[in-house]
Amino acid sequence: MSATTATATDAATGTKVMTYREALRLALQEELARDERVFLMGEEIGVFGGAYKVTAGLLDQFGEDRVRDTPISEEGFVGAGVGAAMIGERPVVEIMTLNFILVAMDQVINHAAKIGAMFGGEVRCPLVIRTPNGAGNQLTAQHSQSFDGWFAGTPGLKVVAPANPADAKGLLKAAIRDDDPVLVLENLPIYKEKGEVPLDPDFVTPIGRAAVVREGTDVTLVAHSFATLRALRAAAGLAERHGVSAEVVDLRSLRPLDVETVAASVAKTNRAVCVEEGWPSYGVTAELSARIQHACFDDLDAPVERVGMAEVPLPYAKVLELAAMPGEDRIAGAVLRSLGLAR
Amino acid sequence: MPAVAAPSALRHLYEQMVLGRVFETEAERQYKADHIGGYCHLSSGQEATTVGTMHALQPDDLLVTGYRSHGFALARGVSPEAVMAELFGRRDGCAHGRGGSMHLLDVGHGYYGGWGIVAGQLPVAAGLALGLVRQRRPQAVLVELGDGAVNMGAFHESLNLASLWGLPVVFLVVNNEYGMGTSVARASAEPELYRRAAAYRMHGERVDGNDVQAVIEASDRLLTQAREERRPALLEAMTYRFRGHSVADAGLAYRTKDEVREHQAQDPLFRVRERLRAEGLSDEDFDAIDREADERVAAAVQFALDSPEPDVAQLATGMHAAGSAEQFARMRPGSAFGEQALTFDAGLGS
Ligand SMILES: Cc1ncc(C[n+]2csc(CCOP(=O)(O)OP(=O)(O)O)c2C)c(N)n1
Ligand SMILES: [Mg+2]
């Protein structure tokens, strides 16, 4: 990273180029400074500076009361976040990677997500859980999986998944300010990606709004998180090699889901290819396909296509891992199939 | 196998400890040369515990570990070739290139897996012990966990089940002072971890995990009780990891160089070497032992390099039991793009 680009501030627009990781850190920093009720909990977030360095420096800046290292006890400290949130604290809990949330699922799904409805709105749970995720580094079956759809299919939770630095800052801040439990799905391969980030401390990305991140006319690619980057790369390749004009919609929020933006795009292009890093069966792309075919039945010129992780626990060997992931070639293949240009 | 090592056995133990150390050093080198990927956790410094417990474990006993497991696999008798090939992600690896460093396994040696989720292996180990009881087999299970695993619910649930049901399992807590960057004192309200067993009316004790003979004595005694009296136990082995948490961690953000150096001065290999020297081994003997370990590890690297990459057409191999392909055969219509070729055609249940 060159120091000049990383610190270059655009005074006119009030933005700064930074990595996704730095944007998350900035969001945490601003919210910790803004609101006394905000505090962080998680494994290795303090002394160690964060397993992936998102929280680096925050312990020194805010102290142990606000930046709390925890033992390896996910069920315990996620649940502690739920309880503290119920009486008005604003805990931001880091789970080292999404995989480890599985041992805390009971607190996430059967406690945090239930509170609003089960008690008739008497008490709220403004808890944020932020956790990175992502395949591609040979971390193998227990450490590289994306079951984003499981959470997005749970009433009572909100789920956001930023795909670029600006949204990383904006969505994390929106999550912290939200009065409901919000799961912020971060992404390991995107941590180092750079982009312009608004410096306004009150900049937030609204929850429940997708964004058209590339305009096109022939087909709509719908994705979230790292799959958005794959979709953008596939779209660039399709334009270059096949003259295909692909529009890319970045969902940004999975629950609530901005079906309107997706449907408006599909109404224009008449074709949809949904992409995710997770297993497609019963997943995010399954949900998208169902909603698109219903909302856009008369607009569709081809069946909705979807691309996802091969349906195996991810193997270790690089060749196998690469084959399993929803690479740009598979996305392009699905687009060509949807256009009738390939079988 | 005698529980307490006779002089000739001590040399054998030393050879195994040296092999473990040389293997880890080479694994780190191969990681940096990009032949190994993912997470790779080394156990340099912990050899007395790995080799000692594996010496006490009988051939028919069962072993379960976490992810810091190369040393256990080797000391259990898995060939350096099969372990190195697994780290390289090759076809001849002990998990066919599917598992990598964290998920070694060798059923033939009673090794039921390296597991990657902290404490996830503990209920599994209790279940293996339950299976042994139901099958009226006289063996025991040894399950390794780190000091960081004792604060997970699964730890407590497993200890309670084991004690309540009288399961033949020994919980080996490898206390290397840190879970990633968190010291035991910063993680555990009761930092004398062996005492936690008392909450389940289970025997718990501490052993100097850098003294291979003390480790053998304690683990043999506890495994014998587990086998013969169906009494589970917790053994806390006090040791230290010389390297970072994984090869990606320099291991100095949370501990000082001096602290590491102090422990290195107490290297468990030195202690055995001094005893062997007293028994008459010479510098030449030690050189020969080193050379043999170097050669074995070099051969393992060559074997791994020569082993073919797994076949992509077999991506899903092993996921389901034989015969399952028939059950999935009618799931193809409407498949996601690539799913059909990658999953249904790629060895699913065949
Ligand atoms: C449930 C869960 N949470 C977090 C992690 C990430 N993690 C992997 S190893 C580790 C530290 C474990 O330390 P310890 O149990 O002492 O074993 P050691 O690494 O020292 O051998 C952590 C936090 C994990 N694998 N599983
Ligand atoms: Mg440890």
CA distance linking residue A40 with residue A89, whole number of Å: 11
Which of B246, B337, B340, B344 to mutate against chain A (most A CBs within 10 Å)? B337
Main-chain dihedrals φ then ψ at residue B63, nearest 5 degrees: -125, 135
In the reported structure, the alpha carbon of residue B347 is separated from the centroid of ligand 2 by a whole-number distance in angstroms of: 38
Distance, CA of B270 to CA of B282 (rounded, Å): 14
For chain A, positions 178-237, list CB contacts with chain B under 8 A: none
**Looking at residue A134, what is its pLDDT?**
86
Q: How far is CA A91 from its chain centroid?
A: 19
pLDDT tens, position by position, A290-319: 999 999 999 999 999 999 999 999 999 999
Condensed to tens digits (0 to 9), the pLDDT of residues B27-50 reads: 999 999 999 999 999 999 999 999
Kindly state the average pLDDT of the residues B190-216.
98
Residue B341: what pLDDT?
Answer: 85
DSSP label of A235: H
Q: Does any ligand 1 atom lie closer than 6 A to the CB of residue A328?
A: no
Question: In the predicted model, is pLDDT for residue A2 greater than 50?
Answer: no
Residue with tokens 């239930």: A114
Q: Which fold has domain A211-338?
A: Rossmann fold (3.40.50)
Q: Which chain A residues are within 8 Å of B102, Cβ to Cβ?
A: 140, 142-143
Paired tokens of B78:
């898995």
Q: Are A213 and A229 in contact (CB under 8 A)?
A: no
Alpha-carbon distance B87 to B71, whole Å?
Answer: 13
Give B332 or B196, the one with higher predicted confidence.
B196
The answer to whether B103 touches B113, Cβ cutoff 8 Å, is yes
Instruction: Please give the interface size between A and B, counted as residue pairs whose CB atoms are below 8 Å apart.
Output: 157
User: Do A310 and B152 count as a contact with CB atoms less than 8 A apart?
Assistant: no
* Residue A7 pLDDT > 80: no
Q: Please state the rounded mean pLDDT for residues B52-62.
A: 98
- Same CATH topology for A18-198 and A211-338: the answer is yes
* φ, ψ for residue B153, nearest 5 deg: -55, -40
CATH of A18-198 among 3.90.180.10, 2.40.170.20, 3.40.50.970, 3.40.50.261: 3.40.50.970
**Which domains, ranges and CATH numbers included, belong to chain B?**
7-318 (3.40.50.970)
In the predicted model, is pLDDT for residue B194 greater than 50? yes
3-state secondary structure of B252: coil
Q: How far is A166 from chain B (nearest CA, A)?
A: 28
Give Rg (Cα) of chain B.
Answer: 21
The bound ligand whose nearest atom lies closest to the alpha carbon of A95 is: 1
**How distant, in Å, are the alpha carbons of A186, A191, A231, B339 from that of A225?**
7, 11, 10, 21
pLDDT at A5 over 50: no
Helix (H) or strand (E) holding A177: helix A165-177
- Of the pLDDT bands very low, low, confident and very high (cuts 50, 70, 90), residue B349 is low
Residues of chain B above pLDDT 70, percent: 97
Distance CA(B81)–CA(B94), nearest Å, equals 9
| Nearest ligand by distance to the CA of B40 | 1
Domain ranges of chain A: 18-198, 211-338
Measured distance CA(B334)–CA(A141) in Å, rounded: 26
Q: What is the pTM of this model?
A: 0.96
Beta bridge partners of B238: B175, B208
Averaged over B166-185, what is the pLDDT?
A: 98
- Asked if B315 has any chain A CB less than 8 Å from its own CB, the reply is yes
What is the average per-residue pLDDT within A49-77? Answer: 98
pLDDT recorded at residue A3 = 37
Q: Do B115 and A312 make contact, defined as CB atoms within 8 angstroms?
A: no
Place of tokens 């073919």: B308
Average pLDDT, chain A: 95
Q: Which B-chain residues 97-126 have CB contacts (< 8 A) with chain A?
A: 97-100, 102-103, 115-120
pLDDT per residue as tens digits for the range A155-193: 999 999 999 999 999 999 999 999 999 999 999 999 999
- Model pLDDT, residue A9: 57
pLDDT at B6: 64
Averaged pLDDT score across all residues of chain B: 95
Q: Which of B53, B95, B86 is nearest to B72 (CA)?
A: B53
Range in A1-10, A332-341, B54-63, B263-272 with the lowest mean pLDDT:
A1-10
Number of H helices and number of E strands within chain B?
A: 13, 8
Pocket probe mutation, ligand 1, options B40, B118, B186, max atoms within 8 Å of Cβ: B118
Q: Is B218 in the pocket of ligand 1 (CB under 6 A)?
A: no
The pLDDT tens digits for B102-146 are 999 999 999 999 999 999 999 999 999 999 999 999 999 999 999
What value does the mean pLDDT take over residues B336-344? 86
Q: Which of A72, A100, A133, A143 to mutate to test the pocket of ligand 1 (most atoms within 8 A of CB)?
A: A72
Indicate which ligand has the atom closest to the C-alpha of A104. Answer: 1
Kindly report the number of other CB atoms within 10 A of residue A206's CB atom.
11
Higher-confidence position of B3 and A276: A276
* N- to C-terminal Cα separation, chain B: 41
Q: What is the mean pLDDT of residues A261-283?
A: 97
Identify residue B44 by its one-letter amino acid code. Answer: S
- pLDDT (0 to 100) of residue B131: 98
SS3 helix, strand, coil % of chain A, rounded to 5?
A: 40, 15, 45
Average pLDDT over residues A236-257: 98
Confidence of residue B342 (pLDDT cuts 50, 70, 90): confident
Q: With H, G, I as helix, E, B as strand and everything else as coil, classify residue B169.
A: strand
Q: DSSP E strands: which ranges in A186-268?
A: 194-198, 211-214, 219-223, 246-250, 253-255
Phi-psi region of B38 (alpha: psi -120 to 50; beta: other; left: phi over 0): left
| Tokens describing residue A41 | 């909990």
pLDDT confidence bin for A11, thresholds 50/70/90: low
**A41 inside 8 A of chain B by CB:** no
Length of chain A: 343
Nearest CB among A305, A317, A324 relative to B337 is that of A305
Q: Nearest Cβ partner of A72 from B37, B103, B149?
A: B149
Cα-to-centroid distance, B179 and ligand 2 (Å): 4
Interface of A with B in 47-76 (CB under 8 A): 47-49, 51, 69, 71-76
**Residue B214 contacts A where some CB pair is shorter than 8 Å:** no
